[in-house]
Amino acid sequence: MAVACGGTPAVKDAAGAESAFRLESSCRTELPRPPRLDFAYQTARIKDICERRARAVAELGEPAALELERRLADIDACDNAADFAALCGSELLVLSGHRWALPLAEGVRMELVAGHVKARLAATDATDWGKVTKFRIDEIGGTDD
């Protein structure tokens, strides 16, 4: 009888052929997570708002807190900032060549900048968002609009 990885005996299929389709956990290899857009926080307050729903609801209100949660999940699902911009579409506000804002609810927005130590700049000296794989959330709060 053949033995599969990890000492599991091979299993015979209906035709009598041996198959080692059962793998022990010691045989499994975890694939590295593909590159994803990551984020950091400008302050401990912003980190707390992003990581604790109760704090987000208390400071921003429930609609903005829920939208923040959705947008953080969107950031995590994208490979780079340009992908995130495409996902957000016209909702994303370009404040400058280095700063974006995203409305979370009436009068509340999240401001984002590239979070790399060395800036990813295009020939125009603006941020090359296609090369940005880390955001820094600079501000979450009310707008002056």
How does pLDDT run across 35-81, given as a tens digit for each residue?
678 888 999 999 999 999 999 999 999 999 999 999 999 988 888 88
State the Cα–Cα distance between residues 59 and 51, nearest whole angstrom. Answer: 13
Domain boundaries, the chain: 1-30, 33-142
Please give the average per-residue pLDDT across 13-21, as a whole number.
Answer: 57
Q: Is 69 helix (H, G, I), strand (E, B) or coil?
A: helix
How does pLDDT run across 99-118, given as a tens digit for each residue?
899 999 999 999 998 877 67
Q: Is 60 helix (H, G, I), strand (E, B) or coil?
A: helix
Best-predicted range by mean pLDDT among 15-24, 67-76, 109-118, 136-145? Answer: 67-76
Question: CA nearest 71: which of 94, 105, 97, 95?
Answer: 105
Q: What are phi and psi of 73, to 5 degrees?
A: -65, -40
Question: CA nearest 41: which of 107, 120, 140, 108?
Answer: 140
The DSSP string of 102-121 is EEEETTEEEEEEE--SS--B
State the Cα–Cα distance between residues 10 and 1, nearest whole angstrom. Answer: 7
* Predicted structure pTM score: 0.69
Q: Which one has a higher pLDDT value, 96 or 108?
A: 108
The CATH class, in words, for 33-142 is alpha beta
Name the average pLDDT for the chain: 79
Region of residue 122 (phi > 0: left; psi between -120 and 50: alpha; otherwise: beta)? beta
pLDDT band (50, 70, 90) for residue 33: low
